[in-house]
Amino acid sequence: MGTVFQMPWTYIGDDPAQWPHPGLDRLKAMGFATAAMALTDQSVSLRDPALAAEEKLAIVLGTEGDGLADHTVAECDYTVRIPMAHGVDSLNVAAAGAVAFWQLAAPQ
């Protein structure tokens, strides 16, 4: 909670039917690139310099357990994974968000 007011975040839409569209459309219209946090064969590392180079990057996080829907991942500009030790397949959403925000907010 210490930095909850320092990192901009939001829900988009009033109900789940507004995601991924028009939610993603609204983000892109505001100039955001989108990064889905998901483990897929196409995921890039959170350390990928292309992510840090984006002027405005929205991190899209899913629910614990199920993660993001496949159609949401497909609609994002990037699919991103957090590099982890062998045998660790995922983090809970709060930990994953914290790691992503830290990495992407750090001066490059």
Query: For 46-76, what is each residue's pLDDT tens digit?
Result: 999 999 999 999 999 988 778 899 999 999 9
Residue 7 DSSP class? S
Closest CA to 66 of 38, 40, 46: 38
Q: Is the pLDDT of residue 1 over 60?
A: no
| Cα 34 to Cα 66: distance, rounded to the nearest angstrom | 19
CATH superfamily placement of domain 16-105: SPOUT methyltransferase, trefoil knot domain (3.40.1280.10)
Query: For 82-100, what is each residue's pLDDT tens digit?
Result: 888 777 667 788 888 889 9
Domain map (residue ranges) of the chain: 16-105
Query: For 21-55, what is each residue's pLDDT tens digit?
Result: 889 999 999 999 999 999 888 899 999 999 999 99
| Cα 88 to Cα 82: distance, rounded to the nearest angstrom | 11
Residue 37 DSSP class? E
Q: Tell me the three state secondary structure of residue 59.
A: strand
| Cα 106 to Cα 108: distance, rounded to the nearest angstrom | 6
